[in-house]
Structure 1
Amino acid sequence: MPAEFDLKYGDITVAVSVPEGLRTTVLSPGVGANSAGSGAPLTDPLLALEDSLRNPIGSPPLCEVVRPGDRVVVLVSDITRLWIRTSDFMAPILDHLNRAGVPDSRISICVAMGSHRKMTPDEIRRIVGDMAYERVSVFQHDIDDENGFVYLGKTSRGTPVWVNRRVMEHDRILMTGGIVHHAMAGYGGGRKSVLPGIASRDTIKANHLWVLDPDKVGIRPGVGSAKTLGNPLHEDMVDAAAMVAPDFIVNVVTDSQGWFAGFFSGHWLEAWQAGCKLVDRMYCVPIDHKVDMVIASCGGYPRDISMYQASKSFYNAWMALKPGGTLVLLVEAREGGGGEEFFKWFRYPDIESCYEALKSDFTVAGYLAFLTRYIASVVRTVIVTDMDSNLVRTMGVIPAPTVREAVETGLSWAGHDPEILVMPEAGITLPILHGETP
């Protein structure tokens, strides 16, 4: 009998059938030797938060870091990072600061959105929570305010570091955020609250260009998910954050359902690094070797809400494939590309011209479009999606109207007796070859 698998597509589940006799393995978070004993949801998140503030990593307790009457600014992520659930822990942090002698009148919250659009008042309220929104002053990083930056010098790689002047005018800087795998910086969270969070446009562009291979069309060696050692983008961010010298950090790790799995508080780098280790234990899954074919779902809505969001699934599935392998990916994409800019990058006739345009006018959306196109150039890709098929073809992939036809097409490419991996949650599953870090 054929092997049957249920994969998520938007809000529904679809059945995927693989012919009998083919070597087929399921790869999911929590399946593999690297995931043992980690990532259980916290039974009492607020108690865990308080414990992390009192017993931080690499730092005195928060109550000893701040002094009575200090002006404190708390950096928070924007509306694109609602999964961090900052609103659940912001008020307790304010309470902790109050008990340390810092009243609400001396506390500000800065939405560190980098080059993202400004938030509406309602969105800011959703980010920080009603209680915090009413208690303290909240302002947004404004990347277009030419007079709103202060120059701190250059990183070891020559990136000019311009950061938000208003943030730097505070006595203490507290960063918050969430840690996940990140296809450019290795991991989210941590130093990213500074760069790109409160950095100028020129600083962000100079930093982000480190992802591109300078010698050929492609991705610079060292850049990728779970990669920090030798990752110039990450190392450049660390340099910039060290110039700002944040006084304390509170970063969270969540499980696949969005529940808090850990709070990592303390030194802005050491505590974040500890959180990265938990992310690896939860979401890195070891594989013995790369395979001929991957059949993957992003994990359904919201991870397949757009092609922009699906780029992470493209990347993760690619990590399990042999060169020239075959990828079948389910992406509902109810919001299309995820913004007008994403598909503008596919107007270039070939990947070389897209690469050159990205070097001269780098954007994250442009890079994710380039990454998707690059992956499609090295592995054969067929996509099941609700998007217009002609638009999908501009990505260099083949659209399929049904899962059955997609699998049949993929099998026709994969050759005789292909080895197959099924990834039900490709958006959060990072395959790691045995013997490789992490």
Structure 2
Amino acid sequence: MTRFELAYGKEMLAFELPASVKVQEIKAKASQPIPDIEQAIRQAVAHPLGTAPLAKVVKAGDQVVIVVSDVTRLWIRTDVLLPVLLDVLNEAGVPDKDISIVTATGDHRVQTLEEHTAICGTKVLARVPIYDHECKADDLVDLGKSSQGTPILVNRRVWEADKVILTGGIAYHLLAGFGGGRKSIAPGVCGYEMIQKNHALALKDAGPSGINPNIETGKMDGNPVAEDMLEIALRVGVDFILNVVVNEKKEFVYIAAGELEQAHLAGCRVTEEIFGIEIDEKAELAIVSSGGYPKDIQLYQAIKALDNSTYAVREGGVIILVSECSDGIGSRPFEEFFKHGEVENMNAQLHANFTMPGFVSLRTASICRKTPVILISSLPEDVVKRVKMIPAHSADEALQLAAQILGHQPDSVYLMPHGGNTFPIVN
């Protein structure tokens, strides 16, 4: 037998498969962390992609707004970027009193002082003011509609700034293809209706799964949600971006600086190089872990790993998802959306009232209909069945269930120890 382990909560879960089974691991390629981050940031903003150096983009007298991600994206380590960015702006003739920060909260709640401190750092907050975007504020600026009919209502402070600089992180995204770049504007600092209408484009020209076939992780061309986001960001106006790519240890491995599209695309290519893992063919079974604690404390967050694993499994295959879920489902709207029943009913409900948790529920249900998903977790069996998965209490039980569904021992298996980060790409 061949033995291997995957992270499960704060422990490791051991699996044993016959030596005759072809087992391969899908893991991120080695990446070199940036040794001197301040120097690298200064180098990037002095030699940006697609635009003049930042020191030439801004000038004395400009009112500058820096857009930052909210507390749900602390992995970006904005508190490391901001002190250097402020110093560069000061050196270019823009004093702290002419700079403000706006959090790209999208439709999330406003942040606490403690969260502002976690995002920006104490020293930055002592230098410049920070404002939370509120998607239902009554002073949003109306810029009409995008070519896809999305109403563009944008944060007034961002719109009225002389110069807008976006910070953020670039990673795979199951709705927008990739995060970062234009997402700091749309949905980051736009109105609630814009966010809902944009995300609902995922259902436009839907395929059998109820979702547009161009809505894929790693895909932006032809992706209606991604293209709409970019159009809106360009309409609002972005003067410079400073985005990062981080590895699984949260170390900076690339800094994307410059013009919105070019710099973002460069960061996407680096993300693909590290986390886009080429495979020769799909397997009968994928065993995927979110990476253990704290990444697997709730099922809602584990769906990203599940979604990525679908790209490694052939038609008629099975997925075993390893996620302890010590905090439960993690999203009540996600859990409740399953009460609408089958994929068709969920799809109809989502068309009537789009929500992101509802979309993730529909995506989950679509995956489970096409490929049985066995979940090893601490969730009660009835809860697991409610979200259309098959409960298992151990690795052995999960492997037995997989063999029963397949009708035989799997001939090929992919292991995905950090499933939320790695994206399988068939050669």
* TM interval, short-chain normalised: over 0.9
Of 249, 252, 270, the residue aligned with 1:260 is 252
SS of the residue corresponding to residue 238 of structure 1 reads helix
- Secondary structure class of the residue paired with 2:260: coil
Counterparts of residues 259-278 of structure 1 (less than 5 Å): 259-278=251-270
Distance in 2, Cα, partners of 1:414 & 1:303: 29
Any gaps of 5 or more consecutive residues in structure 1? 31-37
Which of 152, 168, 178 is the aligned partner of 1:161? 152
Aligned equivalents of 1:411, 1:425: Cα separation in 2: 24
Contact 1:39 1:281 in 2 (8 A): no
Query: Which residue is 1:34 aligned to?
Result: none
Counterpart for residue 301 of structure 2: 309
The answer to whether the 8 Å contact 1:182/1:188 transfers is yes
Give the CA deviation at 1:305. 2.1
Q: Structure 2: 5+ residue runs without aligned partners?
A: none
| d(CA) in 1 for partners of 2:293, 2:357 | 20
1:149-179, CA deviations, whole angstroms, 9 ceiling, x for partnerless residues?
A: 1112322222121111121111110000000
Question: Alpha-carbon deviation of 1:129?
Answer: 0.9
The AA in structure 1 aligned to 2:25 is V
Distance apart, 1:339 and its partner CA: 2.7
Are the equivalent residues in 1 in contact too, given 2:403–2:409 (CA < 8 A)?
no
CA distance in 2, matches of 1:377, 1:271: 38
The answer (yes or no) to whether the contact 2:210–2:344 under 8 Å persists in 1 is no
Equivalent residue pairs, number: 425
1:6 alignment partner in structure 2: 5
Which TM-score applies when normalising by structure 1? 0.95
Quote how far apart the aligned CAs of 1:425 are: 1.3
What pairs with 1:2-401 in structure 2 (closer than 5 Å)? 2-30=1-29, 39-145=31-137, 147-215=138-206, 216-401=208-393
Is contact 1:185-1:223 (8 Å) kept?
A: yes
Q: What amino acid sits opposite 2:416 in the alignment?
A: M
Indicate the SS of the match to 2:340: coil
**Runs ≥4 in structure 1, deviation > 3 angstroms?**
213-217
Question: Which residue of structure 2 aligns with residue 424 of structure 1?
Answer: 417
Paired with 2:179 and 2:356, the residues of 1 have a C-alpha distance of 14
Using the TM superposition, give the Cα deviation of residue 214 of structure 1 relative to its aligned residue in structure 2, in angstroms. Answer: 3.4
Q: Which amino acid aligns with 2:260?
A: W
Measure how far apart 1:15 and its partner are: 1.2
Amino acid at match of 2:413: I
Contact 2:210 2:343 in 1 (8 A): no
Shift of the alpha carbon at 1:73?
0.4
Cα distance per residue 1:385-428 (max 9 Å; x no partner)? 01122111111111111121111111222233522111111111
Two-structure CA RMSD over aligned residues (Å):
1.3
Overall identity of the aligned pairs, in %: 37
* C-alpha contact (below 8 Å) 1:39/1:278 kept by paired residues: no
Question: In the TM superposition, what whole-angstrom CA distance separates every residue of 1:269-316 from its partner, at most 9, and x where no partner exists?
Answer: 110100000000000111112111111111112221211111111111
**Do 1:113 and 1:140's aligned partners in 2 also have CA atoms closer than 8 Å?**
yes
- Per mean C-alpha deviation after superposition, the further-off stretch among 196-205 and 344-353 is 344-353
Give the aligned residue type for 2:117.
R
In the alignment, the residues of structure 2 paired with residue 252 and residue 262 of structure 1 have an alpha-carbon distance, to the nearest angstrom, of 6
Post-superposition shift, 1:148? Answer: 2.1
Q: What is the SS of the residue equivalent to 2:44?
A: helix
Letter in 2 for 1:5: F
Q: Secondary structure at the match of 2:308?
A: helix
Q: Give the partner amino acid of 2:73.
A: R
Q: Which residue of structure 2 lines up, in the alignment, with residue 35 of structure 1?
A: none
Contact 2:67/2:167 (<8 A) preserved: yes
Letter in 2 for 1:12: E
TM-score (norm 2): 0.97
Task: Name the aligned partner's letter for residue 244 of structure 1.
Answer: V
Residues in 1 aligned to 2:142 and 2:248: alpha-carbon distance in whole angstroms: 39
- SS of 1:345's partner is helix
User: Which amino acid letter does the alignment assign opposite residue 202 of structure 1?
Assistant: E
Give the whole-Å Cα distance in 2 for the aligned partners of 1:413 and 1:422: 19
> Which residue identity is paired with 2:110?
K
Moved more, 277-286 or 201-210: 201-210
Which residue of structure 2 aligns with residue 33 of structure 1? none
CA distance in 1, matches of 2:142, 2:209: 33
1:217, distance to aligned residue in structure 2 (A): 4.2
Asked if structure 1 preserves the Cα contact closer than 8 Å seen for 2:289 and 2:418, the reply is yes
